[in-house]
Structure 1
Amino acid sequence: MATGRATVTASPLEIRAVKAVRSAAPTTVLALGVFAAVRGLGVLVLALGSLWAGKDPVRVLGSSWDSVWYLGIAANGYGRTQMWPDAATGTGYIQSDYAFFPLFPALMRGVAAVLPGGLVPAGILIAWVSAAVAALGVYRVGERVIGPRAGLLLVGLWAALPHSVVLSLAYTEPLLAALAAWALYALLRGRWTVAAGLAVLAGLTRPTGLAVAAAVCAMALYTILVRRSRAPEVWAAGLLAPAGWAAYVLAVGVRVRDPLGGYFTVQRRWGSRFDFGVGALRSAERVLTGGHVPLATTVTVVLLAAAGLLALLLLLDRTPLPLLAYTAVLLVIAFGGAGFFESKPRFLLPAFPLLLPVAAVMARARPRTAVLVTAGLAGLSYGYGLYLMLVARVPL
């Protein structure tokens, strides 16, 4: 007897897709849980510390340093300029909001228009969601390159970095890390269109978003020249990837009537320029010779030295080309840029591939040892995060 209901039979492709999702779900949830545990406790520590210091935790998370500029752009658009006098030169820095890329404030404005609370909670929400998405991407890259267990440790290490407090702030680093991680994963799987699209968005997020485009272009050149590929999507990805970064740089140049050099003039007026590492070496010299410097300066020197060592290990470990190209550009920008020396570890926060050698070694250790090491690093990160946000008098 007919029942009146049609029988739906899933195709073999659909069945395989469902099985793949089910098999991936436990590790994906675990990776997100590791990140949420490490950073969630970090947010709690920062909130309690802010209350103890008599500060509003929401304002600390959502309107500190660069966040204030993004809030202004989201609320009023571009056009704000301020002058900071420099006693040494008798002139000063002319800081324009054109130095800040547009994607994050545009998202803030969009989220604030839909959800209650205003721009500050919107910025925090975007940062937290982006950080979680980034953690999943970091895990996927780690899983593919060094295995599932090491991938989980990679997520834990990344969440416990000294400057990982930034992943909880209304800053652009969480958004860039999310776009970069998934773009790199797409490249590792040969998904050129996805990688190029994410690179365009990364290029609209912050100046260091250029590193994502560099990864796509490097892999495209390798595929064309070495593998002799003539696939149209490879050529298109290589040409499209830098479009977001280039479009904003050109737009600022047109706005200040210097199409090619206008954006870099804006950056120089902030005190930011490329000096091939001269400024970084001078800061390191002051630390090494016992000069009177803030704790943040000393920690920055140590972290930059560690980043250089990890980069060498990454190169010797035959890391996939996209990860090398992406990390190399971030390192060049961080080491070679002058100005805001103590912010350099923040600029390197999206450079999670640097942690691949450490995660691979920890994966061979006993689970208890790996957990204790990660917990210890997280504890240090919480303390240093409190120092950066509530004590240090240097820009984060």
Structure 2
Amino acid sequence: MKITIIGGGAAGFFAALSAKSHFLDAHVCILEKTSKFLGKVKISGGGRCNVTNATFNNRLLSENYPRGEKFLRKAFEQFNAQDTVNWFESRGVALKTYPDNCIFPLSNESQSIIDCFLNEARKLGIEIQTNQSVEHIRKTDKGFEIKSNQGIHLADRVIITVGGQPKSTWFSAIESFGHNIIPPVPSLFTFNMPQEPIKALMGVVVEKARVRIEGQKLLGIGPLLVTHWGMSGPAILQLSAWGARILAEKDYCCSILVNWLDEMKEEALRQEFLSIQKIHGAKMLQNHNPFPIPNRLWIYLLEKNEIKPESRWLDLAGKNTNKLINTLINDRYEVKGKTTFKEEFVTAGGIDLAEIEVKTMQSKLLPGLFFAGEVCDIDGITGGFNFQGAWTTGFIAGKSCGMHVN
């Protein structure tokens, strides 16, 4: 049996390894359009590769996917985060879990993951071909004919793992099989704020902030980083994932509201102000920052409200108190565009999950055709979830593709 995987990224390699492990007699081949494999794995997590997340409850794990939650909840019954940890550790890749539940290789080098995959592929005898740009796939009486820039490849089973396709051109081949494609849009991007003076604070990090799009219920929670172009960090990336379609419709122009104090509400903050004025009233505002935000940001927020940093807490008048409280928990900024790191892009959209059998990752429209990874309408927030989606769907597709199909 000839099993061909189109795409040599995370999902593609995992699908190939799974296919060959489950069907030892099969000929398994990966066709990769570029000269290098596992490009996104190489640069992900700043070159460290966040392989998964220590969320070992399948229901909770699935809640981290803006698209594909219910589908993956079923898929995780076959291969989940704990299975990922076991898979890598049983092959000599030591892992480390960080306080935010992100799991990285102990080496802190993505090359550890790449070397593991290449070694496994070599051991199993998987054929690997680079610079194979697939131009067309055709179903024949005997299987599939795959036309690439280097010739014709014949296969009994095909697993498509071409990743996120922000311009959707690759999907035309899949659409020719009758599949519905959810139009892809970027996910996981940072916010550009060309007119906002806060950019001068680039490098400032608030460990736990809450960000929402004005007029929407969507929420991003976590560290927030001020950059020279606007804002980034997990809180922003999370919001961009959940709001991917809304933000695309707005052409990435909107207002966001930042609560610099996480869950703090107005009444509780007002009581805290009264307490500070009672105990530390004689202290200058610039010398007494009682909140878990950097001093540079504290001074900036004071000056934004035309409050002199050298004034005393006791002298903070009613009007100024109201303005400062509102700014600390409801600070408004204008977003005018996004920055997507092109090597690490994630997309919302892809093959409609209603047309994929979750137990096998096989097309419901064309027997023998399977999908895995981000080519499906699946994407996660930052924190190792996108790779987990790739491992899970790749494992299932590989495990299933050698079985008899109708």
Shorter-chain TM-score range: under 0.3
Higher strand share: 2
Q: Which has the higher contact order (CA 8 A, sep 6+)?
A: 2
TM-score normalised by length of structure 2: 0.25
Structure with max Cα Rg: 2
Higher helix share: 1
